[in-house]
């Protein structure tokens, strides 16, 4: 069997602690003063103008170069397109000439075939005429 007992305790409240005073070192030597000329103090507009001008000039030069490059690329593309159109035109003309040449060759072949057939018929007719003259004699 288990037995339980309640016990309580009481503590005293904490006493307030006084913070340490700020440390101030003892003065040594003599206090001096300085005078600064106002024109020697850093002036942002005056002192950064050269840097800003240099950076601006570099950016402008780079921009001009990029514009020139884009113009040159545009001209190259335009010239390439014109050359391709010229090539396509020449190819079409060449194909037309080849078709005309093929048509002429076909016509020539047909004319030669017809002429040979006529010559054969004429030769046969002359041969028959000679045979019939020979047969009559």
Tokens 């288990």 belong to 2
For the stretch 39-61, pLDDT in tens is: 777 788 888 999 999 999 999 99
**Of 64, 41, 61, 42, residue with least CA distance to 53:** 61
Task: Name the pTM for this structure.
Answer: 0.46
pLDDT, residue 84, reads 97
For the stretch 92-132, pLDDT in tens is: 999 999 999 999 999 999 999 999 999 999 988 888 888 88
Return the higher-pLDDT residue of 33 and 46: 46
Count CB neighbours of 22 within 10 A.
5
Kindly state the tokens that stand for 37.
Answer: 């000329």
Q: Is the pLDDT of residue 137 over 90?
A: no
Task: Provide the CB-side half-sphere exposure for 5 (13 A, CA).
Answer: 2
**Spatial separation of the C-alpha atoms in residues 67 and 73, rounded to whole Å:** 10
Q: Is the pLDDT of residue 11 over 90?
A: no
**Spatial separation of the C-alpha atoms in residues 92 and 65, rounded to whole Å:** 40
């Amino acid at each position: 069997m288990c037995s339980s007992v309640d016990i309580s305790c009481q503590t005293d409240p904490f006493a307030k602690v006084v913070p340490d005073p700020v440390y101030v070192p003892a003065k040594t030597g003599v206090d001096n003063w300085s005078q600064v000329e106002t024109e020697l103090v850093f002036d942002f507009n005056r002192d950064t103008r050269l840097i800003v001008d240099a950076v601006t000039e570099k950016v402008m030069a780079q921009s001009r170069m990029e514009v020139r490059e884009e113009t040159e690329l545009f001209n190259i593309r335009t010239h390439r397109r014109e050359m391709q159109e010229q090539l396509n035109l020449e190819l079409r003309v060449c194909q037309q000439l080849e078709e005309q040449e093929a048509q002429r060759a076909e016509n020539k072949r047909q004319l030669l075939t017809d002429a040979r057939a006529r010559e054969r018929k004429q030769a046969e007719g002359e041969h028959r005429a000679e045979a019939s003259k020979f047969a009559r004699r």
